[in-house]
């Protein structure tokens, strides 16, 4: 069965510092992996995806994510955090058949000025 783990409930980082939000997954076969962001009182917004190819994928708002097959991880990164990046971040995995997507529990990111 598919599963997604986000080991940190909250990540705190100072503005201008690099940030990492961690995600590990379990799925049969090759995964499709996604990151979403949720701002207060809003729905989830798609940030980026990994399907195949380069292990480093780039997405919206300067975010990128690194796929590591041996560690079954897909960590979200940004070189320089902004206060406006403060939000709830969800990692998600979809199986190759594409029937449904499983979401992690979410990680709240606080960026302090």
Partner 1 sequence: DADVTQTPRNRITKTGKRIMLECSQTKGHDRMYWYRQDPGLGLRLIYYSFDVKDINKGEISDGYSVSRQAQAKFSLSLESAIPNQTALYFCATSDSDRVDGYTFGSGTRLTVV
Among 64, 66, 82, 103, binds partner 1 (CB under 8 A): 103
Tell me the closest approach of the beta carbon of residue 105 to partner 1, in angstroms: 4
Nearer to partner 1, 6 or 24 (CB): 6
Residue 31 near residue 94 (C-beta atoms within 8 A): yes
Residue in 74, 76, 78, 50 with CA at minimum distance from that of residue 62: 78
Contacts of 89 (CB under 8 A, 6+ apart): 6, 21, 35, 36, 37, 38, 47, 76, 106, 107, 108, 109
Pick one of 85, 94, 109, 111: the residue that binds partner 1 (CB under 8 A).
Answer: 94
Answer for which of 21, 67, 78, 104 binds partner 1 (CB under 8 A) is 104
Among positions 54-93, residues that touch partner 1 (CB under 8 A) are: 90
| Residues near partner 1 (CB under 8 A) | 6, 9, 32, 34, 36, 41-47, 49, 51, 90, 94, 98, 100-106
């Amino acid at each position: 069965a598919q599963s997604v783990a986000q080991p940190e409930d909250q990540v705190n980082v100072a503005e201008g510092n690099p940030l990492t939000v961690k995600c590990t997954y379990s799925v049969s076969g090759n995964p499709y992996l996604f990151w979403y962001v949720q701002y207060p009182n809003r729905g989830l917004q798609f940030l980026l995806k990994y399907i195949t190819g380069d292990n480093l994928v780039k997405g919206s708002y300067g975010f990128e994510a690194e796929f590591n097959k041996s560690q079954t991880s897909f960590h979200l990164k940004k070189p320089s955090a902004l206060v406006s990046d403060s939000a709830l971040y969800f990692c998600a995995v979809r199986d190759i058949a594409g029937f449904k997507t499983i979401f992690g529990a979410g990680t709240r990111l606080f960026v302090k000025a």
